[in-house]
Structure formats: structure tokens, C-alpha cells
Amino acid sequence: MKTAVVTGASRGLGEAIAKKMMEKGIQVIGVARKNSDNLPSYEGKDNASYTYRYGDLQDTAACAKVFEKLAEDIFTKADDTVYLINNAGVVGPIAPADAYSLSEWEAHMAINLTAPMLACSTFLKYAKTYNIPLVIVNVTSGAAERSVHGWSAYSTSKAGLNRYTETVALEEAEAGTNNIAIAYNPGIMDTDMQADIRSSEPEKFQDVQKFKDYVKNKSLRDPMFVAGVLADVLTGSEIENGKRYAVKDFV
């Protein structure tokens, strides 16, 4: 049976992705600081189930051990495709660049950039050792491609993740492996992250009113819809290695 690892699966898009992958008959392992309230009892197709693994992605050393043990457990038993979906992420700190503390910057980059890179590196190593196809999905953002006042950390981490994804895809293609790496831009959704953005102070985030208007105008997509698009891409006939997929291209 196929297996999917989803980081940040306790809520929001991560929880929705886990559900949609289970509905495709894929076993899901969620990595987060706390378990989901809904996933343990969620019924997937063909008895696909959910397993929780604790992981604090802000703690890089501990995170490396979690991914190493997880990859070993999965690939030594796998007989079909493994999906690594690096969904966990934070938008804060939201403030002009000169207002960040070192600890805030380090925590942000640990979660948004270092953790996905660690996971990819570890899973690629095991995929090659055991000759099991690996599909990597790094969840990105439109902020990676444009500058937004107050989002220097977020835009930087997502832009870095995009380039990392493309580089991994290039390396795997040149090596002739069956491994694939893509990015996925989910757009704006009705999640806790959006609520955090709307609570920002205007002097720290000039676009705060725009994000409040998204709610008034009902512009926020349901995470289950966004997750469903990704699940369809991953289980479709062909995935384009290195591509930046975006939910807006499917609506």
C-alpha cells in the first residue's frame, strides 16, 4: 500500500490533505506537535488509516532524528510509492525586516525551510537505498514570487523552498531515478493562518485590510477543496517533475 507523510497534519490544510489521501486509499502518517482531533477516527478507502508521530519542526536536531526514524520505518516495509508532503509552515513574524529578533528569524526558517530540506534529504536517501519511488510535495505560496510589506521572512523562506524543490527535481532527473519533487501553491484558504494574518497590526502589515476583505467577499477557499486538488494531482496519470502546481490552475 502507498504511504503519505504529511507535516502539520493536526489542523487546516495538513489535516485536509491527510483526509483526501486516505480517501484515495493511501496510508497517512502525520507529523506535528499535537495530534489531530479528527484524523484518528477518519475512515479512508480500502482501510487506509492514520498514524500520528510527534515532531517539533522548530527543533532542528530533534526533527532530524524524527525524520530518520520515520524514513527507516517506512522504507524498510514499503512496496509502493511513498509521498512526502511538507505542509507545515508559519507566516510570522509579521513585521518590517528591522523588527525581527534573531530567535524569531531562526524559528521561522527552521519550520519553513530547514525542516522540509531535512525531510527531503533523509527520505531521498532511503528511497534510493530501497528502490522505492518517492514523490515530494513542498507547499509554497504566492508570496515566494512577490514582495509583501511585513513578510520578508515568509517570502524568503517560500522562495528558498521553491528553488530547493526545483534543484531536487533536477538532480533526481539527471540521476535517472523515479523520484519526483513538486511545489504546490494552495492560494488563500479559510484556515487559522489567515486568522493570524487578519489580526496583524496595520503598521506591521500594510495589506491587513485586504485580507479582512477576503472574508467579507467570501474569497477564501475550503481547505478540503484545495487538498482534493492536490490529491488528484498526486494520484493522476502523470506528475510533472519540478513543476510548481497551483490550485488556481484547477478552478
With CA atoms as reference, report the closest residue to 186 among 117, 245, 111: 245
What's the one-letter identity of residue 229?
V
Element (H, E) at 30: strand 27-32
Assigned C-alpha cell, 135: 514523490
Which residues fall within 8 angstroms of residue 135, CB to CB, at 6 or more apart? 81, 82, 83, 84, 179, 180, 181, 182, 234, 239
Q: What is the Cα–Cα distance from 32 to 36, expressed in whole angstroms? A: 9
Q: CA distances (Å), 177 to each of 85, 132, 170, 171, in order?
A: 19, 10, 11, 9
Do 151 and 94 touch, CB atoms closer than 8 A? yes
Catalytic annotation, pick one of 154, 164, 184, 214: 154
Active site residue 154: yes
Q: 56, exposed or middle or buried, with CB in 10 Å at 0-12, 13-18, 19+?
A: middle
Q: Grid cell 534543484 — which residue?
A: 167
Show contacts of 42-48: CB within 8 Å, 24+ apart: 42/18, 44/19, 46/1, 48/1, 48/21, 48/22, 48/23, 48/24
Q: CA distances (Å), 190 to each of 16, 33, 216, in order?
A: 12, 21, 12
What are the residue numbers of the active site?
A: 154
